[in-house]
Amino acid sequence: MSGESTDLRGKTALVTGASRGIGRAVAERLAADGALVAVNYARDEVAAKEVVAAITEAGGRAFAVKAELGTDGDVESLFTAFDAGLRELGAEPPLDILVNNAGIGAKATIEEVTPDLYDQVFAVNTRALFFITREALTRMPDGGRIINVTSGVTRIAFPEGISYAMTKGAVDTFTLALAKHVGPRGITVNNVAPGFIDTDVNADWLRGNPEGQAYAASRAAVARVGVPHDISGAVTFLASDAASFITGTIIDATGGADL
């Protein structure tokens, strides 16, 4: 939770998929800059409580919100838990910052993608994001911030994960249209697109694997593998007043992959 600070005091943020990886780094950074952060998780309550504890110990404020996205009733479950968490803290209900970070991968070529896999990845990465955002807009005051964590695969061909890439392409289009729609309210909508990041999602081929590390670093112009805090800084910037005139765009946080 280090780095140049942006003032988010008095703001409330909801970060989906915040119990680990990029989501955890984003939650910690937003809290470090003053926001009250709702830490969403699907199943790992222990990990989510660890994030809340880390934020609290560092002087921030946070609470855990359980909701498994991509399932029936996910949006209702998410915001019921969000409202309950606010009440327990005696906090006000407006939601100032929404970070749509939760997502699942689907490493499969077009020949390997099954209908069930296709439906699952779209349910989490696209459908849940859409309807969570729609509900969030009913709670968000003018001047709010929506940040979607997408992927560099919308710029770089990724046939080995074609259905996953399609979901992120859909989010790019969603962001562009929504930014125009809510712009008159002063609400900004932007994407942050990570590249190869050292997280649990990539652990099987990247973490502790010198060959994987070397390959990922070779793809980036900055010649290294990204870490979650590389992404959290970009998200926090977009959540701040410093980015109030930026909307409908993408911050490429791939380290210059495949330039």
Within a domain: 79: yes
Total-model pTM: 0.95
Residues in the chain: 259
Within a domain: 43: yes
Per-residue pLDDT at 210: 83
In angstroms, the CA 195 to CA 193 distance is: 7
Within a domain: 135: yes
Within a domain: 3: no
Q: How many domains does the chain have?
A: 1
Within a domain: 259: no
Instruction: Give, in degrees to the nearest 5, the angle at Cα 151 between 26 and 96.
Output: 40
Q: Tell me the residue range of the domain where 127 lies.
A: 12-252
Per-residue pLDDT at 199: 80
In angstroms, the CA 222 to CA 234 distance is: 16
Q: What residues are labeled active site? A: 164
In angstroms, the CA 228 to CA 230 distance is: 5
Within a domain: 5: no
Within a domain: 7: no
Q: What is the CATH number of the domain that holds 75?
A: 3.40.50.720
Per-residue pLDDT at 203: 60
Per-residue pLDDT at 89: 94
Per-residue pLDDT at 208: 73
Per-residue pLDDT at 204: 67
In angstroms, the CA 10 to CA 8 distance is: 6
Residues of the chain with pLDDT under 70: 1-5, 201-205
Within a domain: 2: no
